[in-house]
Amino acid sequence: MAKKKVFVSFDYDNDKRYKTLLKAWDANPNFDFYFSDLSSDEIKSSSVSVVKQVLSKKINEANYTVVLVGEEANKQHSDHKEIGYKNWLNYEVAKSKQHRNKLVAVKLLSTNTSPDELLNSGATWAMSFKQESIVRALNEA
């Protein structure tokens, strides 16, 4: 079975360790998963327009977007006006919807507030960060 092209949307400052675990799962042949590791540090630019361009390109290369819903997932970013959305996660979800990526939302804690753009988006939910839950959600999306 071909690996899924997955863009992972996450809060780089607070939830990077979860992305690292996904990377380890990707190395496991039993986890049918491919993802682009994209974060603002790797883009190496503080220019909002440059970050938008790179993120949009990577989102358009994917067929799925996995959104890691951490504690700060819906917190307003200081550059929110220039981003055009409350924060980068909301931007990434909006762009993923425009590109018609299948959305998979993963609540890191059940009490975390989802990004506004994820609500009523038709996303498939994994209510915990467990390999089985995420694989199931990807397969059902």
Mean pLDDT of 108-136: 92
Confidence tier at 37 by pLDDT (50, 70, 90): low
Determine the Cα–Cα distance for residues 51 and 94; give it in Å rounded to an integer: 15
Confidence tier at 1 by pLDDT (50, 70, 90): low
Distance, CA of 52 to chain centre: 14
Based on its alpha-carbon atoms, the radius of gyration of the chain, rounded to whole angstroms, reads 14
Confidence tier at 74 by pLDDT (50, 70, 90): very high
- Domain extent for 69: 5-140
% of the chain beyond a pLDDT of 70:
89
Please state the domain count of the chain: 1
Confidence tier at 40 by pLDDT (50, 70, 90): very low
Q: Given CA atoms 73, 79, 80, 85 in this order, what sign does their dihedral have? A: negative
Please say whether the beta carbons of 64 and 138 come within 8 A.
yes
User: What DSSP state is assigned to residue 105?
Assistant: E
Q: Which secondary-structure segment (H or E) carries 5?
A: strand 5-9
For residue 41, pLDDT over 60 is answered with: no
Longest dimension (CA), the chain: 42
CATH code for the domain of 9? 3.40.50.450
